[in-house]
Structure 1
Amino acid sequence: MKKVAIIAQTKEGQLSETSIQLLSFLSSFSPESILLLAVGEVKFSAVPSSKSVEVITLSEGLWADSSSIEPLAEILEGFTVFGIKSIQVDNLLSLLAASSSQEMISGVQQLTYSAGKFTISKSIFSGKASLTVTSESASYFSLNRNFDFSGNAAYGDQSISSVSTLTNASGSKASILALKPITGAIPLPDAALVVGAGRGLKDPGNWTIVEDLAKALGAATACSKPVSDLNWRPHHEHVGQTGVKISPNLYIACGISGAIQHLAGVNGSRIVVVINNDPEAPFFKHADYGIVGDVNDILPRLTKKLQSH
């Protein structure tokens, strides 16, 4: 890889931890140049890298059609571009790949590079299986949120060679009606830790025990489709085939039976812990760890244990 570009994710002006890990990981391949792309104003007080990093900040916008993507596609000609999976990143990568007629590989779980060739392990069939492929032509990669960064290079000294801003091209058919950033909560698609619950909680008033556990872990909260259909929880927390797809490092499923529709949304999770009072619940077959018991009893005990440490 001679030239590497990273679509960085930010929150409140700071690079996300996964973007920092990705920057360090790609630096270990010793590319000749590194380009960091970030949306909106970003505080670059500490960008870990063993090489000089050029930064382009993208103006707040959708970057959602061919006319708006052209200036960015021209800049990225000859670059291999990486991003951590999100709606925005996948949209941007797919537009760039289509604009340049280059191959894009998504769902990447592991990646190595040697002698001009990528070896990629990626999830397929909604996370039910993995496929290992090699490629010499792919230029765009969307990495799962639980991508394996093991063995990446140690963080080096920061070195930013330049910072510039790229605005959307005029004539774009897309426009922003309103920007409503999420505050005071961990966005579900970005969460490394998720606590989800289903109808096993028996009553929406019991949801505080899920929130308490999530707070103790620093996790996001999720729910099954029946729970959102009953309006126990907002629909943006619905995880499943027709809801949000997540790939956290840890997913704790509380009182969820494990219907195939829900499994389709969480199969990308690195570790799954299931808590259910039914030992025959299908979810146990897909769990790394299981606890048979009443969630209304177990969750408060887990929270108390975490708070005591």
Structure 2
Amino acid sequence: MKKVVIIAQTKEGQLSDTSIQLISFLSSFTPESILLVAIGEVKFASLPASKSVDVITLSEGLWTDSSAITPLVKAVEGYAVFGIKSIQVDNLVSLLAASSSQEMISGVQQLSYAAGKYTINKSIFSGKASLTLTTESATYFSLNRNFDFSGNAVYGEQSISSVSALPVASGSNASILALKPITGSIPLPDAALVVGAGRGLKDPGNWTIVEDFAKALGAATACSKPVSDLNWRPHHEHVGQTGVKISPNLYIACGISGAIQHLAGVNGSRIVVVINNDPEAPFFKHADYGIVGDVNDILPRLTKKLQSH
């Protein structure tokens, strides 16, 4: 592995834990150089790396067209580009790949590198199967949020050789019409923890127990398609084959039977916990852990336990 670019996720100037893990993981392949790309100012309190890291900070602009992204396309030329799945990272990586007419591989679950080739494992057919492939040509990769870094981390002292700012290209047609930051709930595609619920809640008025549990756990909320069809919950929370597809570290399904359409949206989850009062519910066959019981009884008890710690 010669040169590596990492599209970093940041929040309030801090690198996310997954970005730090990605730096460590890719450092284990001893690349010649590492280039970190971050939007806005980044505070480097502790940056794990086995080699020095160059940093490009993107000015706060709208990186959504080819003219705006031209300087970055040139800056990463000749590098392999990696990022952990999120709305922002996926948009940027896919735009870089398209702008440079290069192949992009998304949904990567496992990755290794040897003799100039990448060996990749990813899910296909809505998670019903997995694919292992070897490539020399792909240079853009989006890794699943539940990518397994265990056993691959190499930690060293922080060593940042240079930091440069990359402005939006002059003459760009991009402009900022409005800034509407997401507040409150955690966006489903970016969530590491998700609590989903279905018609087992029996009434939309019972949804507060799901929200209380999710808040205590620090999780995002999701729902099955029948729930969104009944207007119990907004459509953007619908997880499934025709809704949002997620890959959190933990997915807790409450009162969801486990229809194949719903499983197609959640089978990228690392750990699945099912709570259902029907011991024959299909979802139990796909769960790592199961609780047989009424969600309207179990969730408040779990919430109380979480709040007491």
| TM-score, shorter chain, exceeding 0.5 | yes
Paired amino acid for 1:90: D
**Could you say which residue in structure 1 is the equivalent of 2:191?**
191
Q: How many residues align?
A: 309
Q: Whole-Å Cα distance in 1 between the matches of residues 23 and 262 of structure 2? A: 33
**Could you say which residue in structure 1 is the equivalent of 2:286?**
286
1:125-144 aligned within 5 A: 125-144=125-144
RMSD of aligned Cα (Å): 1.9
Q: Whole-Å Cα distance in 2 between the matches of residues 11 and 240 of structure 1? A: 28
1:173 deviation in Å? Answer: 4.0
SS at match of 2:241: coil
Summarize deviations over 1:242-272 as a string: whole Å, max 9, x none: 3222101110000112233322221211111
1:1-309 aligned within 5 A: 1-309=1-309
Summarize deviations over 1:198-232 as a string: whole Å, max 9, x none: 12111222222212322332222212233233333
What's the TM-score once normalised by structure 2's chain length? Answer: 0.93
SS at match of 2:298: helix
Unaligned runs of 5+ in 2: none
Q: Whole-Å Cα distance in 2 between the matches of residues 206 and 128 of structure 1? A: 32
Q: Whole-Å Cα distance in 2 between the matches of residues 260 and 288 of structure 1? A: 17
Summarize deviations over 1:128-172 as a string: whole Å, max 9, x none: 211111112211111001001011224322111121221222344
Q: Whole-Å Cα distance in 2 between the matches of residues 170 and 226 of structure 1? A: 49
Q: Whole-Å Cα distance in 2 between the matches of residues 245 and 296 of structure 1? A: 26
Paired amino acid for 2:33: S
SS at match of 1:21: helix
SS at match of 1:194: strand
Q: Whole-Å Cα distance in 2 between the matches of residues 282 and 133 of structure 1? A: 31
SS at match of 1:227: helix
Q: Whole-Å Cα distance in 1 between the matches of residues 170 and 241 of structure 2? A: 37
Q: Whole-Å Cα distance in 1 between the matches of residues 172 and 69 of structure 2? A: 9
1:114 deviation in Å? Answer: 1.2
1:284 deviation in Å? Answer: 2.3
Q: Whole-Å Cα distance in 1 between the matches of residues 170 and 228 of structure 2? A: 40
Paired amino acid for 1:292: V
Unaligned runs of 5+ in 1: none
Greater shift in the superposed pair: 278-287 or 69-78: 278-287
1:36 deviation in Å? Answer: 0.5
Q: Whole-Å Cα distance in 1 between the matches of residues 219 and 242 of structure 2? A: 22
1:77 deviation in Å? Answer: 0.8
Paired amino acid for 2:223: C
SS at match of 1:206: helix
1:102 deviation in Å? Answer: 2.1
Summarize deviations over 1:114-133 as a string: whole Å, max 9, x none: 12111111111112211111
Aligned residues with identical type, % of pairs: 88
Paired amino acid for 1:49: A
Q: Does structure 1 retain, via aligned residues, the 8 Å contact 2:108–2:147?
A: yes
Say if 1:79 and 1:227 are closer, same or farther in 2 by CA, change over 3 A. same
Q: Does structure 1 retain, via aligned residues, the 8 Å contact 2:21–2:153?
A: no
Say if 1:65 and 1:248 are closer, same or farther in 2 by CA, change over 3 A. same
Paired amino acid for 2:165: T
Greater shift in the superposed pair: 194-203 or 138-147: 194-203
